[in-house]
């Protein structure tokens, strides 16, 4: 039995949303984030406590730690889309599997919805809040940084869960972003 049986209607990315009618920098980037959201949704759907603790090797990260890392990168993507300085979030207790999954998917959805409306991405810098000054990084780094790094980690989660004996749903189609019923 999975740690949480979240209703597919409450979380985005069970399937990839319909594509926009036009190609702009914003719609293409939003589609990349939608693809990431779809991959994260299915890489993390139905994980068991055994999966969450599973490591590919003794000194590797367990799946739950990978999910935490992906969540932290989703906050960078979200904050760039919102055009607000990014500060590392701190919590009194670690986020649960369900919380990490929900927050990460909602961060992707929020960023995608904003970026779909953008013609260009020049004003969507990553701003790291500093104590003395902020560090401003162009959105280019969001693409090769937190977006692509998160895709990489979704693959690690999918591979880890397969090895732990709980492969992802075989009815998903990454090419079309759909699920065969």
Q: For residues 77 and 107, is the Cβ–Cβ distance under 8 A?
A: yes
Q: pLDDT above 70 covers what percent of the chain? A: 95
| Residue 164: CB atoms within 10 Å | 18
Domains, the chain, ordered by start: 25-164 (1.20.120.450)
Whether 111 shows a pLDDT value over 80: the answer reads yes
Segment 16-44 shows an average pLDDT of 97
pLDDT for position 181: 85
In whole angstroms, give the CA distance from residue 168 to residue 159. Answer: 9
For residue 148, give every residue at least 6 positions away whose Cβ sits within 8 Å of its Cβ, in sequence order, or none: none
For residue 173, what is the enclosing H or E element? strand 172-173
Q: For residues 82 and 114, is the Cβ–Cβ distance under 8 A?
A: yes
pLDDT band of 36, cuts 50, 70, 90: very high
For residue 103, what is the enclosing H or E element? helix 97-115
Coil, strand or helix at 59: coil
Calculate the average pLDDT of the chain: 93
Residue for token digits 């293409």?
A: 28
Quickly list DSSP for 114-167. Answer: HHTT-S--TT--EEE--SS--EEE-THHHIIIIIHHHHHHHHHHHHHHHHTT-P
Segment 6-27 shows an average pLDDT of 87
pLDDT for position 5: 44
Two tokens at 113? 């919805």
Coil, strand or helix at 172: strand
Q: CA triplet 102, 94, 43: central angle to 5 degrees? A: 40
Whether pTM exceeds 0.75 = yes
Pick 92 or 176 by higher pLDDT. 176
């Amino acid at each position: 039995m999975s740690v949480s049986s979240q209703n597919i209607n409450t979380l985005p990315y069970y399937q990839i949303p319909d594509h926009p009618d036009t190609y702009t920098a914003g719609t293409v980037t939003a589609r990349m984030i939608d693809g990431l959201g779809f991959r994260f949704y299915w890489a993390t759907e139905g994980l068991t406590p055994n999966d969450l603790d599973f490591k590919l090797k003794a000194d590797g990260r367990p799946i739950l730690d990978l999910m935490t890392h992906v969540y932290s990168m989703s906050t960078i993507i979200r904050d760039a889309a919102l055009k607000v300085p990014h500060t590392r979030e701190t919590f009194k207790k670690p986020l649960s599997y369900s919380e990490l999954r929900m927050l990460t998917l909602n961060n992707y959805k929020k960023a995608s919805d904003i970026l779909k409306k953008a013609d260009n991405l020049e004003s969507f810098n990553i701003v790291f809040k500093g104590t003395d000054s902020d560090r401003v990084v162009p959105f280019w780094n969001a693409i090769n940084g937190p977006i692509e790094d998160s895709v990489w980690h979704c693959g690690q989660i999918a591979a880890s869960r397969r090895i732990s004996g709980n492969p992802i749903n075989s009815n998903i189609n990454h090419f079309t972003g759909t699920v065969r019923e």
